[in-house]
C-alpha cells in the first residue's frame, strides 16, 4: 500500500521529468476558449459518424499497403499475409501505419512462424511517431504467452529504455505455428488486452501523444498477420458494463498518502492506477486557475488568505506539502496548466471540479488551458453549480460533464437530461436515501459516481447497487479491491481437454474436460451440439479437420479448437475397427504397413473391399489420400 512515508526528494524527482523523460510533444499555442481544434478531436469526430475502420487490411496484394512505413527489420506481403522478421533479441522490427486516434480498437489474427526463444515477442504499437522513433507505447504478446509476463503493456522511453507497466499470463499458449485472434482497445491512457476474445489485462498507464500512429513490432521472431483492422471507438459511456469493476476516481489525487491537490498526490494516484484523478480548480485574484479545494490557503499551505484575494505570484511561493508530512516540504499549489502538463507528460486523466463561484470568463479560461494542451479527451468536468456546467457545455461541448450533489434532486434524471450530463455524482449519504436512482439514471444513459467513500464494506454495497464509480481518498486500496472483485465475480470456464490447437488422430482417446472457477453451471457444446463434461468422444465419428468446443457460463463464453488429422496409427485404427471382412482388413493393413497409401485408398474405394460401411469407407479413403500427399 502506498503511504505518506515516501522520501520527499525521491517523489519530487518522480514528478519532475528529466530532460530525457520530458514530454517531447510541446503544447500547442493557446486558442480562443470557444474554438475547437480539429486535430484534437479527430477520433471523436470519426466515432460519432460511424465505427468505420481507418485501417482494414487483408494483405491480398503483393507489396506493403499504401501509407505503411517499414522502419526496421524485414517486412513483406506473402501468401496473403504480412510477414515481419527480427533476427535478434536486440532488434525491434517496426512498421508504422494509420492516423492519430484517441480511442480505438486494433486487432489482427497473427501467428509466430519462428522465434529465437519463448521470451521473444510481437506487439501492437498503440502510440508511435510515424518514423518509429522513441518514445513508444505498446501492447506485447510473447511466444511463451502463458508465462507471468506473457502479456505486457510497456513503454520505450525517450531515453531508449524499457518501462514495463503491467504484466499477466495470456489465457492460452500461443507458441509456433498457432494462429490466434488478438485485440487491444485503447481509451486515452487506458487500454485492455484481449486474446482469443477473452479479456486478459488492463492498464491505466499508456503514454499518449497528439501525433502518434499505430504500428506492429516484432522482436527476435518472424510473425505473420492477417485481417488487421483499426477502428475508432464511439464516444465512451461511463456506465459500467456487467462484470466490470468500479471506476476509480482519486479524490484530490492520492490524498490519503500525499498532500491533496498537488503534483505529489497526482503521482500517488497515478501509481495507484486510478483511472481518473480528481482536482479542484479556482481562480486567483489575477484570474489564473489554480488547484485548491478550500476558499482560503490557510489549511493546506503555510500562507494565509482567500485564494481569490491572492495573486498567482503570492500563491506560488507557498509551501503546500509540509502540513501533511515533512517529506513533502516544498510542494506547491499548482496552476491548472501545470497540473495538466504533469498529467500529459506522466499519464493520467483529470476529473476537474469547478469549485466555488465562477464567471463565464473564468470558466472560459479553464477551457483555454485544457484545449491549448490538447487535453480535452482526458478531462471530465464536474461541479455543484448547474450554471458552471451550462457554460462548459456552451464553450466546450466535447467535455463530459458531471453534477455533484449533497442531496438528491427531486428528479435527477430530468436535470441530467437538461444539463446533458455524462454522470450524476451524489454523496454516499444522498445515494443511500434512494439507491434505485442508479437504475433510473442508467435507463437515461447517465452514469452515477458516489463520493467520498473509503470503506470496503460500502464499496461492496455500492457495487451491488449498480454504482459505476467511486470517488475515494484511497485509490490504491480500491484498485486492489477491484482486482479481487474481478477474480470472484467473473465466472469463467477453461477447456482443459483437448488442449487448444491439439492435433488428434483416430487412434487417440478423446475426453472433454472443462474447468469451472465458479459454482454456476457450464453449458458445453462440441460443434454446436450439447455434450456432457467428462464425456468420451469416439474420434472415428468425427469429420477430419477443425472442431470447436464452446463452454458458456452466464454471459461469458470460451472457445477452444482442436483438429482431427490423418496419421498411420489413426488410419490403422479406422481399418481395425471398421467391421470389414477379414480379407479386406488383411489387404488394407498390408498396404498400410508398406506405406502404399495411394494404392490403399484406391482399393478401399472398390467393391472388392467388402464389409465397409459407406461412412467408414470414405474415412479410410480420405485419410489414406491425405497421407499419400505428405
Enclosing H/E stretch for 90? none
Residues in Cβ contact with 119 at an 8 Å cutoff, skipping those fewer than 6 apart:
89, 142, 143, 144, 147, 220
- Residue tagged active-site, from 293, 358, 388, 547: 293
CA distances to 352, 434, 513 from 249, in Å: 11, 22, 42
Establish whether 442 is a catalytic residue.
Answer: no
Give DSSP secondary structure letters for 41-58. GHHHHHHHH----SEEE-
Cα 2 versus chain centre, distance? 24
Establish whether 251 is a catalytic residue.
Answer: yes
Strand ranges for 102-220 from DSSP E? 103-115, 121-128, 136-142, 151-156, 162-168, 179-187, 190-195, 198-203, 213-219
Distance CA 82, CA 108 (A): 11
Residue for grid cell 470496503: 456
Residue 197's closest CA among 213, 180, 175?
Answer: 180
Distance CA 404, CA 251 (A): 13
Residue for grid cell 506547491: 332
Phi first, then psi, for residue 112 (nearest 5°) are -75, 115
Residue for grid cell 511463451: 144
- Residue tagged active-site, from 251, 358, 388, 547: 251
The vertex-202 CA angle with 83 and 428, nearest 5°, equals 160
Distance CA 365, CA 343 (A): 19
Residue 117's closest CA among 175, 178, 169?
Answer: 175
Catalytic residue IDs: 251, 293
Amino acid at each position: 500500500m502506498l503511504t505518506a512515508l515516501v522520501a520527499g526528494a525521491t517523489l519530487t524527482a518522480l514528478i519532475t521529468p528529466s530532460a530525457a523523460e520530458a514530454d517531447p510533444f510541446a503544447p500547442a499555442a493557446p486558442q480562443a476558449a470557444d474554438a475547437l481544434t480539429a486535430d484534437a478531436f479527430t477520433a471523436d469526430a470519426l466515432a460519432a459518424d460511424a465505427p468505420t475502420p481507418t485501417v482494414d487490411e487483408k494483405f491480398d496484394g503483393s507489396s506493403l499497403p499504401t501509407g505503411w512505413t517499414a522502419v526496421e527489420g524485414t517486412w513483406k506481403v506473402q501468401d496473403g499475409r504480412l510477414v515481419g522478421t527480427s533476427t535478434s533479441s536486440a532488434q525491434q522490427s517496426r512498421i508504422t501505419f494509420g492516423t492519430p486516434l484517441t480511442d480505438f480498437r486494433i486487432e489482427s489474427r497473427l501467428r509466430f512462424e519462428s522465434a529465437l526463444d519463448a521470451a521473444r515477442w510481437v506487439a501492437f504499437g498503440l502510440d508511435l511517431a510515424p518514423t518509429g522513433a522513441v518514445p513508444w507505447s505498446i501492447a506485447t504478446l510473447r511466444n511463451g504467452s502463458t508465462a507471468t509476463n506473457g502479456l505486457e503493456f510497456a513503454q520505450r522511453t525517450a531515453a531508449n529504455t524499457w518501462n514495463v507497466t503491467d504484466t499477466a499470463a495470456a489465457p492460452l499458449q500461443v507458441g509456433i505455428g498457432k494462429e490466434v485472434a488478438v485485440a487491444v482497445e485503447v481509451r486515452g491512457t487506458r487500454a485492455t488486452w484481449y486474446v482469443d476474445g477473452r479479456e486478459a489485462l488492463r492498464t491505466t498507464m499508456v503514454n499518449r501523444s497528439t501525433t502518434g500512429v499505430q504500428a506492429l513490432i516484432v522482436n527476435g521472431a518472424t510473425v505473420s498477420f492477417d485481417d488487421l483492422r483499426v477502428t475508432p471507438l464511439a464516444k465512451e459511456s461511463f456506465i459500467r458494463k456487467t462484470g466490470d469493476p468500479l471506476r476509480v476516481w482519486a479524490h484530490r489525487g492520492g490524498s490519503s498518502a500525499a498532500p491533496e491537490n498537488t503534483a505529489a498526490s497526482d503521482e500517488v494516484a497515478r501509481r495507484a492506477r486510478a483511472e481518473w484523478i480528481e482536482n479542484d480548480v479556482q481562480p486567483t485574484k489575477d484570474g489564473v486557475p489554480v488547484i485548491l479545494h478550500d476558499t482560503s490557503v490557510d489549511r493546506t499551505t503555510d500562507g494565509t488568505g482567500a485564494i481569490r484575494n491572492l495573486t498567482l505570484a503570492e500563491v506560488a511561493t507557498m509551501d503546500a506539502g509540509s502540513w501533511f508530512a515533512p517529506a513533502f516540504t516544498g510542494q506547491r499549489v499548482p496552476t491548472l496548466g501545470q497540473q495538466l502538463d504533469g498529467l500529459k507528460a506522466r499519464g493520467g486523466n483529470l476529473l476537474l471540479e469547478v469549485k466555488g463561484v465562477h464567471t463565464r470568463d473564468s470558466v472560459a479560461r479553464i477551457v483555454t488551458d485544457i484545449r491549448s494542451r490538447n487535453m480535452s479527451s482526458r478531462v471530465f468536468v464536474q461541479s455543484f453549480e448547474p450554471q458552471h456546467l451550462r457554460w462548459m457545455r456552451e464553450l466546450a461541448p466535447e467535455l463530459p460533464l458531471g453534477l455533484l450533489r449533497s442531496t438528491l434532486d427531486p428528479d435527477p434524471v430530468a436535470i441530467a437530461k437538461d444539463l446533458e450530463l455524462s454522470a450524476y455524482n451524489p454523496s454516499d449519504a444522498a445515494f443511500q436515501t434512494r439507491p434505485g436512482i442508479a437504475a433510473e439514471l442508467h435507463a437515461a444513459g447517465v452514469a452515477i459516481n458516489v463520493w467520498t467513500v473509503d470503506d470496503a464494506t460500502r464499496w461492496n454495497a455500492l457495487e451491488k447497487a449498480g454504482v459505476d464509480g467511486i470517488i475515494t481518498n484511497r485509490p490504491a486500496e480500491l484498485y486492489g479491491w477491484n482486482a479481487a472483485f474481478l477474480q470472484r465475480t467473473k465466472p469463467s470456464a477453461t477447456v482443459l481437454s483437448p488442449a487448444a490447437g491439439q492435433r488428434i488422430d483416430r487412434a487417440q482417446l478423446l475426453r472433454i474436460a472443462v474447468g469451472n472457477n465458479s459454482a454456476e453451471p457450464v453449458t458445453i457444446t462440441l460443434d454446436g451440439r450439447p455434450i456432457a463434461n467428462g464425456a468420451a468422444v469416439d474420434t472415428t465419428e468425427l469429420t477430419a479437420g477443425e472442431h470447436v468446443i464452446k463452454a458458456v457460463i452466464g454471459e461469458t463464453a470460451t472457445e477452444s479448437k482442436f483438429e482431427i488429422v490423418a496419421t498411420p496409427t489413426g488410419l490403422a485404427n479406422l481399418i481395425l475397427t471398421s467391421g470389414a471382412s477379414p480379407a479386406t482388413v488383411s489387404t488394407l493393413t498390408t498396404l498400410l504397413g508398406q506405406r502404399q497409401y495411394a494404392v490403399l485408398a484406391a482399393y478401399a474405394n472398390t467393391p472388392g473391399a467388402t464389409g465397409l460401411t459407406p461412412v467408414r469407407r470414405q474415412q479410410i479413403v480420405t485419410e489414406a489420400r491425405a497421407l499419400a500427399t505428405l
